[in-house]
Amino acid sequence: MSSGVTSRTIDHDARSLLSAAAVRNASRRILALALEGALEDWAVDRARLPSTVELVAKVVRDRYPTLQPPVHARWRHFVFGGRDLWSDIVCSRRWESPAAAARAAFDLAVTSVLLDAGAGSGWRYRDSGIDGLVAARSEGLALASLRWFERGGFSDDPRDPLRADASALCRLDGQAIDRAFQSTSDNPLQGAHGRAALLNRLGRAVQERPDLFASADMPRPGGLFDVLARRASASGGQLPAAMILEVLLEGLGSIWPNRPVLDGVPLGDCWLHPALRGERPIDRFVPLHKLSQWLAYSLIEPLEMAGVRVVEVGGLTGLAEYRNGGLFVDMGVLVPRDPLAFSRVHDVSDPFVVGWRGATVALLDELAPQVAARLGFKAEEFPLARVLEGGTWAAGRIIAREKRADGGPPFQISSDGTVF
């Protein structure tokens, strides 16, 4: 070890990658390289950004005529035909306290987001509670996970189905996933065993960190609410949104399979990129933390409903996933340097994918204030979290359907189901 560098310094450096600020910083470095022509896989055509801004602004107007989209969160996927299914469930039950309702919402959000990996283009979920309701992709996965949660599929207490106990999560297997998601040979859901393994790892992580996940009885993801509420109380009743992410990354870092580890610290959705240079090992990584950030966004509403004021939501970043990233590719803002790149299947750790995802996050930071201005708002009045929901995610889906019959991403990624 070189002089002046201690193990504590290295550990601190590694943990510094576990933050939204680190995501934003590394992504801006990736975009700067692309603009300089120094990124091997991608070029940027800024001349295509205004038309992308216009498309996103139009989608916002069409989807939210009052121009008041909510924060991008899992809760949007529980709404069908104007009916909020989670709200129906919450209102049908008498809660002992707002905190109890928030713990249940945390349990649902964590499990549902972790189950949201790509379902495959042929999979559908047919709801038994609403006649004729059939959903696919993220909405279908959300509906299936909600109904499973509602039935007590994650609970070890028959008297209290609306919870996710660590012990129950540890017992789940691929067959349980198939049953809950109606997966059959005629209606196949991709990655059932991978999803089960992820929930198993979640259960073990919750058991191993009682300081983060302990509740009044059995350890559960919802115990995280109490930790965040105490931190808000210690900070004058306010909780910066970026702190939600940091706590999630600390508590869930061990659940992600086949992820980089630096000096004993699991880095999660964080990848090396050969174009990045620096004296420290961390300088060569691009942290992205897509699922964890989406989960952080999704925990804002249950926190606020329980009286915790979440501030500085802009501290979180855009989400590096195939709807937002696909939008920039399909609109010609991000251009692959190799015309044959789209004909190959890429691993999530490939520089091609890491560079695309990093540039996406930085471009979202550029696009968001322009969309706000196009809609007649100041950037602070129409922040990134609303642009994502209004927004870029929906616009990415729309343009994907126009470009490709199956509405899939612009190129194929071999994923283990824990990134997208």
pLDDT digits (tens, 9 = 90+) for 136-172: 988 999 999 999 999 999 999 999 999 999 999 999 9
Q: Map 88-143 to HEC letters.
A: HHHHCCCCCCHHHHHHHHHHHHHHHHHCCCCCCCCCCEECCCCCCCEECHHHHHHH
For residue 121, what pLDDT band results from cuts at 50, 70 and 90? confident
- What pLDDT, on the 0 to 100 scale, is given for residue 218? 83
Q: What mean pLDDT, rounded, does the chain reach?
A: 93
Phi and psi at residue 193, in whole multiples of 5°? -70, -35
Q: How far apart are CA 398 and CA 93, in angstroms?
A: 37
Q: How far apart are CA 237 and CA 180, in angstroms?
A: 39
Q: How far apart are CA 393 and CA 277, in angstroms?
A: 31
Specify the amino acid at residue 42. Answer: W
> Which CA distances in Å does 272 have to 63, 259, 276?
38, 11, 8
Q: Using the predicted structure, report yes or no on whether residue 413 has a pLDDT greater than 60.
A: yes
Q: Which of 88-102, 120-134, 288-302 has the lowest mean pLDDT?
A: 120-134
- pTM across the whole model: 0.93
Where in the chain are the domains? Answer: 7-414
- What pLDDT, on the 0 to 100 scale, is given for residue 112? 97
Upstream peptide bond of 278 is cis (omega within 30 degrees of 0): no
Q: Using the predicted structure, report yes or no on whether residue 58 has a pLDDT greater than 50.
A: yes
Is the pLDDT higher at 415 or at 162? 162
Q: How far apart are CA 354 and CA 226, in angstroms?
A: 35
Q: Using the predicted structure, report yes or no on whether residue 177 has a pLDDT greater than 70.
A: yes
pLDDT digits (tens, 9 = 90+) for 374-391: 999 999 999 999 999 999
